Amino acid sequence: MSIADKVQEIVEGIRQAAHRVGRDPSTVQLVAATKTMASSQLIEAYAAGVRIFGENRLQEAQEKIPDVGPRHGLTWHFIGRMQRRKLKDIVGNFSVLHSIENVEQARNIDVLAGKIGIQQDILLEVNVAGEVTKGGFALKDMPEALESIAQLPHVAIRGLMTLPPFSDNPENARSHFAALRQLRDTLAQQSLRPGELKELSMGMSRDYQIAIEEGATMVRIGTAIFGTRSFKK
């Protein structure tokens, strides 16, 4: 199958999953996860209708963004973990940062965004399963963290994201997606800014339909669009 065929298959999967739970498919954004993918593949995906590219690695993004060039409606998200020394090159160059994992990181982003006169959109990563090998906020720490970060003037908390534990059975992710949605709904009631916490970034190639059924507004799809990963121009 071509990239265009695969994109259409994903779009149809999004439509079906949304309709199963009475949702409008247009409330779900497809984020093409482009780690190690060639710029030419991204251009194919754009031609097929993809409008959000999500990069995990800054160096790759810095090579691909000029290659792909400015295109109508195209935005870039940063979906990987962010090292402090690289934040200055990330803030302001991506429309949304998906994986804010602690309050200190949010404060650093706030300072950098303030220096260039912007408000940076962010998502807070929640370690729903409490995995020691993953970053992100613990469930119990989220109310206090949200209160602290919401006071920062140069960041806008757009929502939450999570990565559930890997399982051979995608259905096992459902409880983690549901827990993130429930957390978002609870936290939204105490948010200090109207419109915060709208987004839920959860679900990837194997389990995105389950994530949509549980409330995902952004799904990060890589393999199901691009296939095997191997970075080249």
Tokens of 2: 């071509």
40: phi > 0 → left, psi -120 to 50 → alpha, else beta; which? alpha
* Nearest CA-CA partner of 164 in 204, 124, 122: 204
Q: What is the pLDDT of residues 148-195, one digit of tens each?
A: 999 999 999 999 999 999 899 999 999 999 999 999 999 988 766 656
- Please give the share of the chain, as a percent, with pLDDT higher than 90: 89
Q: Which CATH superfamily is domain 3-226 in?
A: Alanine racemase (3.20.20.10)
Cβ proximity of 201 and 217 under 8 Å:
yes
Average pLDDT, the chain: 94
Domain boundaries, the chain: 3-226
pLDDT in the model for residue 229: 64
pLDDT tens digits for 24-52? 999 999 999 999 999 999 999 999 999 99
130/138 Cα distance (integer angstroms): 7
Q: How many CB atoms lie within 10 A of CB 211?
A: 30
* Tens-digit pLDDT profile for residues 49-69: 999 999 999 999 999 999 999
**Residue 7: per-residue pLDDT:** 98
pLDDT(231) > 60: no
